[in-house]
């Protein structure tokens, strides 16, 4: 666990640290170009209760936005030695589903047509021997509970082998729903989600591609149609998210550049209108989070290096999630949720940061939110 800064800081104010990064130009004369890189050190405003299993158990969160009452929004968090846990926005426990399936990554998609109703769904890769593949749940806004609607009980992926990571994608181009799964060998598969006609959802494999080594974290940009995959010792790859996109990719962030430190773990997307926003990555090796532009060439704009306050610091983070949507009085302008690998209060848990504490004047704060609009 990193120690809090010895510098006196007002916890009500986002403090900006400055570091100078030297870039050596490989040209005649070898001149050095100095660029300023900003670092922000927010404090967590809330945290979830710990997961029930000790050791490296908590892994990845997702955020579900209630359709009419933001206060009733939920955080979904995986216990990869147990089940999928659902938390209220104050961090209290609300529900646990699929105990013993060992979910590793979870994501939420809105507006799936299932029978004669439109539903929100949660997806997760699961790794238990009795349920190896992926599962899907419907989220009921009235009860704020999840129910399993996986056709056949589990979606088989990788020929029956266990997935390592997963993420969902709703195509703005076609309106279709997909999920991606990754392996610790670098293989990636994409599946189409469809109504199975019996109150459940089925999955159909659409394509397979790969990176060269271990990959877990992924996130899809639903609006712009990109998939980002973290190859843990290499960096962040950008693919097309449509099933006909092939294997073309771009390395948008490389381990070693701008402090991005292996292992590169969770990825998440902060949406802003007009195609703007941010791609955020967990730089696990130095306990920070790198913020890149969502548009263009995914330029680095900020480093998040949380500090301890009333709630302890975070370290060794796997999964992360963010939303620009208001979720509660405590988080009226969005929230950033982070898995904590070493929680001073017991087993691992998830810490919650107010987006405006991270954004300051450097990033966009855009709480206009319509997750079910497209």
Task: Judge whether 263 lies within some domain.
Answer: yes
pLDDT tens string for the chain (374 positions)?
Answer: 343 333 334 433 333 443 433 333 333 333 333 345 799 999 999 999 999 999 999 999 999 999 999 999 999 999 999 999 999 999 999 999 999 999 999 999 999 999 999 999 999 999 999 999 999 999 999 999 999 999 999 999 999 999 999 999 999 999 999 999 999 999 999 999 999 999 999 999 999 999 999 999 999 999 999 999 999 999 999 999 999 999 999 999 999 999 999 999 999 999 999 999 999 999 999 999 999 999 999 999 999 999 999 999 999 999 999 999 999 999 999 999 999 999 999 999 999 999 999 999 999 999 999 999 86
Task: Judge whether 224 lies within some domain.
Answer: yes
Task: Judge whether 370 lies within some domain.
Answer: no
> Is the pTM higher than 0.95?
no
Task: Judge whether 111 lies within some domain.
Answer: yes
Residues 6+ apart with CB under 8 A from 184: 164, 214, 215, 216
Task: Judge whether 79 lies within some domain.
Answer: yes
Q: Mapped to the 3 state alphabet, what secondary structure does the chain carry?
A: CCCCCCCCCCCCCCCEEEEEEEEECCCCCCCEEEEEEEEECCCCCEECCCCCCCCCCEEEEEEECCCCCHHHCEEEEEECCCCEEEEECCCCEEEEECCCCCEEEEEEEEEEEECCEEEEEEEEEEEECCEEEEEEEEEECCCCEEEECECCCCECCHHHCCCCEEEEEECCCCCCEEEEEECCCCEEEEEEEEECCCCCEEEEEEEEEECCCCEEEEEEECCCCEEEEEECCCEEEEEECCCCCCCCEEEEEECCHHHCCCCEEEEEEEEEHHHEEEEEEEEHHHCEEEEEECCCCCCEEEEECCCCCCCCCCCCCCCEEEECCCCCCCCCCCEEEEEECCCCCCCCEEEEEEHHHHHCCCCCCCCCCCCCCC
Q: Which domain does 67 fall in, by range?
A: 16-359
Q: For residue 103, give the CATH number of its domain.
A: 2.120.10.30
Tokens (6 digits) for 74: 């939920």
| Count of structural domains, the chain | 1
Task: Judge whether 141 lies within some domain.
Answer: yes
Task: Judge whether 174 lies within some domain.
Answer: yes
Task: Judge whether 1 lies within some domain.
Answer: no
């Amino acid at each position: 666990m990193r120690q809090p800064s010895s510098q006196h800081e007002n916890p009500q104010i986002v403090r900006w640290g400055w570091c100078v990064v030297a870039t050596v130009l490989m040209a005649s004369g070898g001149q050095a170009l100095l660029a300023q890189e900003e670092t922000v050190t927010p404090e967590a405003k809330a945290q979830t209760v710990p997961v029930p299993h000790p050791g490296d158990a908590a892994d990845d969160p997702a955020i579900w936005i209630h359709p009419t009452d933001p206060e009733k929004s939920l955080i979904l968090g995986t216990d990869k030695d147990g089940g999928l846990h659902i938390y209220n926005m104050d961090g209290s426990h609300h529900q646990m589903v699929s105990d013993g399936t060992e979910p590793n990554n979870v994501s939420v998609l809105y507006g799936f047509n299932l029978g004669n109703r439109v539903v929100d769904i949660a997806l997760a890769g699961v790794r238990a021997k009795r349920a190896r593949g992926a599962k899907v749940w419907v989220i009921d806004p009235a009860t704020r509970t999840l129910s399993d609607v996986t056709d056949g009980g589990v979606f088989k992926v990788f020929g029956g082998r266990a997935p390592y990571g997963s993420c969902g994608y709703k195509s703005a181009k076609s309106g279709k729903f997909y999920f991606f799964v990754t392996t610790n060998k670098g293989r990636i598969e994409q599946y189409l989600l469809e109504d199975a006609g019996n109150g459940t959802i089925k999955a159909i494999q659409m394509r397979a591609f790969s990176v060269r080594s271990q990959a877990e974290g992924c996130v899809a940009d639903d609006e712009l149609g990109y998939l980002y995959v973290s190859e843990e010792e290499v960096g962040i790859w950008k693919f097309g998210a449509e099933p006909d996109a092939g294997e073309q990719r771009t390395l948008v962030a490389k381990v070693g550049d701008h402090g991005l430190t292996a292992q590169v773990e969770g990825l998440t997307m902060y949406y802003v209108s007009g195609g703007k926003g941010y791609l955020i990555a967990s730089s696990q090796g130095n306990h920070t989070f790198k913020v890149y532009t969502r548009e263009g060439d995914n330029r680095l704009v900020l480093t998040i290096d949380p500090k301890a306050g009333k709630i302890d610091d975070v370290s060794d983070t796997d999964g992360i999630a963010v939303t620009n949507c208001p979720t509660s009085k405590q988080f009226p302008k969005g929230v950033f949720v982070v898995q904590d690998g070493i929680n001073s209060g017991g087993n691992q848990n998830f810490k919650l940061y107010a987006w405006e504490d991270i954004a300051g004047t450097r990033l966009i704060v855009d709480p206009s939110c319509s997750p079910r609009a497209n």
